[in-house]
Amino acid sequence: MNYWPLLGIAVVVAGFVLRLNPVIVVVTAGIVSGLAAGMSVPDLLALLGESFVSNRALLLFAFTLPTIGLLERAGLREHALAWIGRLRGVTLPRLLTTYLGVRQLLGMAGLVDIAGHAQTVRPLLAPMAESAAEKAHGKLDRAHVQRVHALAAATDNVGRFFGEDVFLAFGAVLLIQSFFNEHGITLQPLEIALWALPTAIAAFVIHAVRIAWFQRNLVRSAEPAGASHAAD
């Protein structure tokens, strides 16, 4: 067995310890492992190009994070808080239930990565939910703010996971189809997606009730805190 290709791991470890550019470190490690394995330079370049093309979606996601960071530094969260504060009739249940429905519809259309924790929840939905809650209950303490943010993240999870199951080309749908085919049961992706629709509707109703129940409990728990602050 040829152990020389494992030199690529040493390159990765050394590069991260020295805090070098991660992209350069990973590419260098791939080149070192390829050459140590006896690959020719043209084959190695072809492999690197193929890997780059097949993982370009991951690279686009990685580029999203610094973009969101720059927007937050420019005051995106503060603008979201102020915008919700100016809108009348926007409550926490209405905001999160609307987002849940939109997230599920986008998932059903296959647009699962158009929103998410990094893209929408942290910079937009969480501060908007916080502002909507404070409009009804006044200033919330840190514990209640964290609970509101957690509910916003949970809403995104429910909307995505129960919406994408209805998408015909979703990997899980195709996996279910292949499993049944192996056991002699022929099903079309449309049939599987339609059977996932009642589950998506049930998830929407259950989580919408959960959001309303959260609002009710928030009123009860926030009132004593507000009363104590007023007494002080």
Q: Grade residue 62 by pLDDT with cuts at 50, 70 and 90.
A: low
In terms of domains, do 133 and 209 share one? Answer: yes
Whether residues 38 and 71 share a domain: the answer is no
pLDDT at residue 53 is higher than 70: no
Stretch 117-128: mean pLDDT:
86
Q: Are residues 27 and 110 in the same domain?
A: no
Higher pLDDT residue, 48 or 115? Answer: 115
Tens digit of each residue's pLDDT (9 = 90 or more) over 143-161: 899 999 999 999 999 999 9
Whether the pLDDT of residue 210 is over 90: the answer is yes
The whole-chain average pLDDT of the chain stands at: 82
Could you tell me what percent of the chain has a pLDDT over 70? 86
Confidence category of residue 166, pLDDT binned at 50, 70, 90: confident
Q: Do 113 and 74 share a structural domain?
A: yes
User: What's the pLDDT score for residue 59?
Assistant: 59
Residue 78 pLDDT exceeds 50:
yes
Q: What is the pLDDT of residue 226?
A: 47
> Do residue 145 and residue 82 come from a single domain?
yes
67 and 44 within one domain = no
Same domain, 10 and 120: no
Q: Is 123's pLDDT higher than 90?
A: no
- Residue 232 pLDDT more than 60? no
What's the rounded mean pLDDT across residues 89-107? 92
Instruction: Name which residue leads in pLDDT, 227 or 213.
Output: 213
pLDDT above 80 (res 70): no
Instruction: State which H helix or E strand residue 205 sits in.
Output: helix 189-231
How far is 48 from 174, CA to CA, in rounded Å?
A: 29
pTM for the model stands at 0.66
Q: Which of the 8 DSSP states describes residue 14? A: H
Residues 163 and 86 occupy one common structural domain: yes
Residue 51's contacts (CB-CB under 8 Å, 6 or more residues apart) are: 30
Total domains in the chain come to 2
121 residue type, one letter:
V
What do you get for the CA distance between the two ends of the chain, in Å? 75
Q: Do 177 and 210 share a domain, yes or no?
A: yes
What pLDDT is recorded for position 3?
Answer: 81
Cβ–Cβ under 8 Å, residues 165 and 199:
yes
Same domain, yes or no: 13 and 74: no
Q: How far apart are CA 57 and CA 125, in angstroms?
A: 24
What confidence score (pLDDT) does residue 42 get? Answer: 86
Mean pLDDT of the region 93-109: 93
State whether 100 and 124 are in the same domain. yes
Least confident span in 33-37, 134-138, 145-149: 134-138
Residue 30: domain span: 4-54
Flag whether pLDDT at 215 surpasses 50. Answer: yes
Alpha carbon of 67 to those of 99, 201, 225: distances in Å?
Answer: 22, 34, 38
Residues 121 and 156 placed together within one structural domain of the fold: yes
Which DSSP category does 125 fall into? I
